[in-house]
Chains A and B, each alone.
Chain A
């Protein structure tokens, strides 16, 4: 498994070792660069990487890129977005600075909030929750999975049974209970989602570790006199991480969907914090009246963002499973 991860089939190690003058030596960084070069040939993956890059950029720069304050109503209430045919000239005019106030590219909602600004700022909640929850569960899950898998098969068995229970649990209802009863803060959502996703990483890492402990390199490390904890952390862990890391991208997408869904139900972030699901919920009733823009644009944002994270996870998975 690991061999295929670090050295793709069409870039054999020997080639680089022989042509030593090449810019990419056979180091870890060099292998990573080669891997990136091979992967970028896949147009779908490039799409995914671009989407993810934009979402990360918005987390950092969102509030500065937004033309209006995302929580401050403007005087234009329920204004429709500009017609598609007007967009080029409006872009030109706004670049030349001829407009008195910035264009409402996505229109405004029924309270006069600028939809475009809110869509740009929302990743501060959605994407941050996704990243933080995934990082936390990845950390906890891999550590627990490593120790369960490394120090005994019995603990591994019981841990798998416990995560079975989690799997049969109504996850959405559990998340609602946890978030609502703890007070609907962003931190609560992150911790809740991390708890829900930890068993996934635990299982992935545990099964991977179990397949590694019998390998000769582990035996060699032991023969040299390493302590067990060092072998587990320094040698077995890096060799068991790949499935968990690939899963991480998928989990970020799930967490974004989950956050948006919870907020849509009124069990997530409190309004008027800009959040995609909450924006859709707030304007769902106006959809029937024909006011489509305040709910359509945040929906597209969720749809595209989650798709981007799903692409990366699934394409990498498909590649490394072969």
Chain B
């Protein structure tokens, strides 16, 4: 294994990056053909019901839908650049419904989703790790039982319904939360776009009132998502800490008479590594899976963009969204595996 001074498993990273590239290529071609194989009529949807045959033919020609599927693939991938750059040249294409480039639309919507899910994961992990740890330390106690039931319950909930219920409780009844109408009040001044994440941009601009505005709008969606996410994370922490505590090397550590603190450090380190993989998988899933919460709170993130694109048969947008979210989740999985490998070098064989 090639390693530098830090013990970074470079060979492993490069091999995984290579596999990820192949997977991405397979997915982009796969989605391309999948959408064209399904019985949907995007042209009819775009031109409307009473369009003339000429308008239909013109639209078909304009969108290259009159060419063979292989020609269309070549145009999409950028092997045929007669009508502009393609995927290989770094162009995701333009939306069929709005005309804006997909890259620009993703740049608007993705940061909102990232903002939502990053805060949610932060809260969920912050709550889940101590709870899971406490439950695992006394596995036969009543607390452990309660935590087990809670993690089962939270992990099996319709988050969109909880979001609505929270809106009813905290907005309609208690007036503690703002109306579920996006990240900022429609009348509020948006900060200059730097990262696209409103909370961070407003901090960069030094605009505290916008920051608090955005934070108060994010409060309920983050609470809802963190509640649902805490279930599987608690379960994983509890299981792994239990497994670590029962392992031979922990028995050895105890028999050596190491201090409680030392033992607790070992336990945490060895049991949190597998949890990292789970969090990576969940985070990748949430890139596209936060759509229900986005819809409930009208946050306008990537998920809602995906719903809109699917319902309007906007093929380039769908292809772009799938590619971006898959790239994201593959990179997250890879980095969580690399961190895992740094903690536990046996992984990167």
A residues engaging B (CB < 8 A)? Answer: 44, 161, 164-165, 167-174, 176-178, 180-183, 253, 257, 260-261, 264-267, 277, 280, 284, 287-288, 290, 292, 295-296, 298-299, 302-303, 306-307, 309-311, 314, 318
Q: Which of B157, B281, B326, B329 contacts A303 (CB 8 A)?
A: B157
Q: Contact check: which of A267, A309, A310 meets B307 at CB < 8 Å? A: A267
Contact B39 A170 (CB under 8 A): no
Q: Identify which of residues 20-59 in chain B touch chain A, using a CB-to-CB cut-off of 8 Å.
A: 23, 26-27, 31, 34-35, 38-40
Given contact pairs A170-B289, A264-B292, enumerate 4 new A-B contacts (beta carbons under 8 Å): A173-B306, A176-B306, A260-B158, A292-B168
Decide: A168 and B329 in contact? CB cutoff 8 A: yes
Contact B326 A299 (CB under 8 A): no
Interface contact B160-A181, CB-CB below 8 Å: no
Known: A307-B153, A311-B152. A257 touches B158 (CB 8 A): yes
A148 to B307 Cα, complex, angstroms = 36
A287 and B156 in contact (CB under 8 A), knowing A169-B326, A171-B288? no
CB atoms of B326 and A287 under 8 A apart = no
Closest 5 CB pairs of A and B: A170-B288, A299-B161, A310-B156, A181-B38, A181-B40
Nearest neighbor of B19 in chain A, beta-carbon distance: A161
Closest to A161 in B: B19
Given contacts A168-B329, A169-B326, A288-B167, contact A265 B161 (CB under 8 A): no
B164 touches A280 (CB 8 A): yes
Q: Kindly identify which residue among B34, B152, B310 contacts A176, using a CB–CB cutoff of 8 Å.
A: B310
Report if A288-B310 is in contact (Cβ < 8 Å); known contacts: A172-B288, A173-B321, A174-B322: no
Q: Which residue in B161, B292, B325 is a CB contact (below 8 Å) of A302?
A: B161
Highest count of chain A CB atoms <10 Å: which of B39, B155, B235, B321:
B155
**Interfacial residues, chain B to chain A (CB-CB below 8 A):** 19, 23, 26-27, 31, 34-35, 38-40, 148-149, 152-153, 155-158, 160-162, 164-165, 167-168, 171-172, 179, 235, 281, 284-285, 287-289, 291-292, 295-296, 303, 306-307, 310-311, 313, 318, 321-322, 325-326, 329-330, 333
Contact of A173 among B149, B296, B325 (CB under 8 A): B325
Q: In the assembled complex, which residues on chain A have CB atoms less than 8 Å from the CB atom of B307?
A: 176, 265-267
Chain B residue nearest to A261 in the complex (CB): B292
CB distance from A249 to the nearest CB of B (A): 11
In the complex, the answer to whether B35 meets A310 with C-beta atoms within 8 Å is no
Closest to B323 in A: A170
**Neighbouring B residues of A277 by C-beta, 8 Å:** 158, 160
Residue of B nearest to A262 (CB): B292
Known A169-B326, A257-B156; contact A290-B172, beta-carbon cutoff 8 A: yes
Are A173's CB and B23's CB within 8 A? no
A180 to B288, CA, bound (A): 16
Q: Which residues of A contact B333 (CB under 8 A)?
A: 168
| Given known A-B contacts A173-B321, A290-B172, A181 and B164 have beta carbons under 8 A apart | no
Q: Chain B interface secondary structure, helix, strand, loop or mixed? A: helix
With A261-B292, A265-B295, A288-B171 known as contacts, the answer to whether A177 contacts B310 (CB < 8 A) is yes
Which B residues are in CB contact (< 8 Å) with A303? Answer: 156-158, 161
Contacts of A257 in B (CB 8 A): 156-158
Q: Are A307 and B156 in contact (CB under 8 A)?
A: yes
A171 to B39, CA, bound (A): 20
- B285, closest chain A residue (CB): A171
Could you give 22 example pairs across A and B, Cβ below 8 Å? A161-B19, A164-B23, A168-B23, A168-B330, A169-B27, A169-B326, A173-B321, A265-B295, A265-B307, A266-B307, A280-B160, A284-B164, A284-B296, A287-B167, A288-B167, A290-B172, A299-B158, A302-B158, A303-B157, A309-B156, A310-B155, A318-B148
Taken together as a complex, chains A and B put the C-alpha atoms of A267 and B313 apart, in Å, by: 12
A177 pairs with B34, CB closer than 8 A: yes
Q: What CA separation (Å) do A295 and B26 show in the bound complex?
A: 41
Complex CA gap A287/B168 in Å reads 6
Q: Which of chain B's residues have a CB closer than 8 A to the CB of A173?
A: 288, 291, 303, 306, 310, 318, 321-322, 325
Asked if B35 contacts A181 (CB within 8 A), the reply is yes
A260→B153 CA distance, assembly (Å): 17
Residues of B within 8 A of A309 (CB): 156
Rounded to whole Å, the gap between the CB of B340 and the closest CB of chain A is: 16
CB atoms of B157 and A306 under 8 A apart: yes
A178 lies within 8 A of B171 (CB): no
